[in-house]
């Protein structure tokens, strides 16, 4: 008999009255803008509500109701209750957990009762409109405060957290003892039977002869159909004058690789929509609220500062934590896209994206994380090389991606 489902309504910060708040905001933090990109479960479940005027200053509904009763004794009970609900609605917005926590101790210049009293003096019939204007000022102040705090926290994240977590994840992936032998066997068997019965069934990835094309592909591949990604890559190649050559052509001496400096030269001082129109075929695609066009220019600059301009530079320095953090520390990018970027440049590896995670999940009949997926498939590739010594992880990754996405 199936286990009884958890009552989702117990999550009061996501359902109930909070659901109405999140619906009005579109599930976007009104303080920092987190959640602007796609509707994502892991992001959504971190949401809560922010009281612009908090509990300590009488900003909760029960307190608002008492203040309204005191300021408008001549109105009917129903009218006062409706007014209190309108004020409460104006006072609460969607916030991510960080913003909610970082503003929790702030106190405004007015208590809710004082704000209601002042609004009533100006115009008793337009009290909600007057309060909304005041509350928008409170929201603007909190946004400025959050922006200042985020800048410092982001700096610490890039310099200390990213390198440490990247190293930890890399260590976990390299721990062959962490995988279950039976599960690896199940994956190997399914690959041999359903995916690649013969050596000829394995399909090596295309990759790129120019690092900047690999960068554009890796950034734009985030939550985007690959046909659309290729259109952006083609547009960039045309706009920048870089031949769209596969990795196999990299050994040719002509034409030389343009490198990441070419991308920044073509980007010049452009940003936003202008940059997207100039170099990336007008794509408005975003990642974590940022236009991917801006992300491309940003991460190219960060990699160059870390000493990587060409594919040769990347091959020599990819294991350097400072180089990896130049990528993973860029807002909108993560470690999976870093691995994909390296693979597109010819470095061997696997990218545990949603497609490969889905393949492993179906095969094992249980949910798996990105880190688990990589560990299991790395071990599976070691077993498969006993039959096919020339099989590398890049080729296994691409073959599984083609199979699971229906391109086989």
Task: Per residue of the chain (408 residues), give pLDDT as tens.
Answer: 456 788 887 887 788 888 889 989 888 999 998 887 667 788 888 899 999 999 999 999 999 999 999 999 989 999 999 999 999 999 999 999 899 988 877 788 899 999 998 888 877 678 899 899 999 999 999 999 998 888 888 777 766 776 666 666 665 555 545 689 999 999 999 999 999 999 999 999 999 999 999 999 999 999 899 999 999 999 999 999 999 999 988 765 455 677 999 999 999 889 999 999 999 999 999 998 899 999 999 999 999 999 999 999 999 999 998 999 999 989 889 889 999 999 999 999 999 999 999 999 999 999 998 889 999 999 999 999 999 999 999 999 999 999 999 875
Is 347 contained in some domain?
yes
Statement to judge: residues 79 and 124 lie in one domain: yes
Statement to judge: residues 220 and 261 lie in one domain: yes
Is 247 contained in some domain?
yes
Domain count, the chain: 2
Is 176 contained in some domain?
no
Is 164 contained in some domain?
no
Statement to judge: residues 321 and 390 lie in one domain: yes
Q: How far apart are CA 124 and CA 131, in angstroms?
A: 11
Is 167 contained in some domain?
no
Beta-sheet pairing, 47-51 with 92-96: antiparallel
Statement to judge: residues 25 and 59 lie in one domain: yes
* 405 torsion bin: left (phi>0), alpha (psi -120 to 50), beta (else): alpha
Boundaries of domain holding 36: 8-157
Is 64 contained in some domain?
yes
Statement to judge: residues 145 and 188 lie in one domain: no
b/e code 120-147 from CB counts within 10 Å (16+ = b): beeeeeebbebbbebbeebbeebbeebe
Statement to judge: residues 218 and 273 lie in one domain: yes
Is 83 contained in some domain?
yes
Show the DSSP H helices in 3-59 as ranges. 17-25, 41-44
Statement to judge: residues 143 and 206 lie in one domain: no
Statement to judge: residues 70 and 119 lie in one domain: yes
Is 163 contained in some domain?
no
Statement to judge: residues 117 and 21 lie in one domain: yes
Please tell me what DSSP assigns to residue 287. E
Statement to judge: residues 294 and 400 lie in one domain: yes
Statement to judge: residues 253 and 332 lie in one domain: yes
The end-to-end CA distance of the chain, in Å, is: 39
Statement to judge: residues 239 and 111 lie in one domain: no
């Amino acid at each position: 008999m199936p286990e009884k489902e958890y009552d989702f309504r117990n999550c009061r910060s996501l359902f109930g009255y909070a659901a109405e708040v999140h619906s009005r905001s579109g599930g976007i933090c009104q303080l920092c803008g987190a959640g602007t990109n796609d509707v994502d479960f892991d992001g959504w479940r971190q949401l809560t509500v922010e009281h612009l005027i908090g509990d300590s200053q009488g900003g909760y509904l029960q307190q608002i109701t008492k203040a309204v009763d005191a300021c408008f004794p001549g109105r009917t009970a129903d009218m006062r209750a409706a007014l209190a609900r309108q004020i409460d609605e104006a006072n609460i917005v969607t916030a991510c957990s960080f913003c909610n926590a970082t503003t929790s101790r702030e106190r405004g210049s007015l208590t809710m009762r004082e704000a209601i009293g002042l609004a009533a003096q100006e115009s008793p019939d337009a009290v909600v409109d007057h309060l909304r204007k005041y509350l928008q000022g409170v929201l603007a102040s909190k946004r400025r405060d959050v922006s200042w705090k985020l800048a410092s926290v982001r700096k610490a994240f890039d310099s200390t957290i990213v390198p440490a977590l990247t190293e930890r994840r890399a260590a976990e992936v390299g721990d062959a003892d962490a995988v279950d032998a039976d599960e690896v066997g199940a994956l190997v068997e399914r690959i041999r039977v359903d995916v690649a019965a013969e050596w000829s069934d394995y399909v090596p990835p295309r990759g790129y002869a120019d690092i900047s094309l690999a960068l554009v592909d890796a950034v734009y591949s985030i939550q985007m159909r690959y046909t659309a990604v290729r259109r952006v890559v083609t547009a960039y190649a045309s706009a920048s004058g870089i031949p769209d050559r596969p990795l196999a052509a990299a050994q040719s001496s002509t034409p030389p690789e343009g490198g990441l400096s070419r991308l920044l030269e073509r980007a010049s001082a452009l940003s936003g929509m202008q940059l997207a129109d100039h170099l990336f075929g007008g794509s408005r695609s975003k990642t974590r609220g940022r236009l991917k066009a801006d992300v491309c220019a940003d991460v190219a600059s960060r990699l160059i500062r870390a000493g990587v301009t060409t594919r040769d530079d990347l091959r020599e320095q990819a294991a350097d934590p400072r180089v990896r953090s130049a990528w993973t520390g860029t807002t909108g990018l993560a470690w999976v896209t870093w691995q994909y970027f390296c693979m597109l440049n010819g470095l061997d590896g696997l990218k545990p994206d949603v497609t490969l995670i889905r393949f492993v999940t179906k095969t094992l009949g249980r949910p798996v994380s990105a880190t688990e997926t990589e560990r299991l498939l790395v071990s599976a590739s070691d077993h498969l090389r006993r039959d096919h010594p020339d099989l590398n992880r890049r080729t296994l990754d691409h073959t599984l991606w083609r199979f699971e996405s229906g391109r086989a």
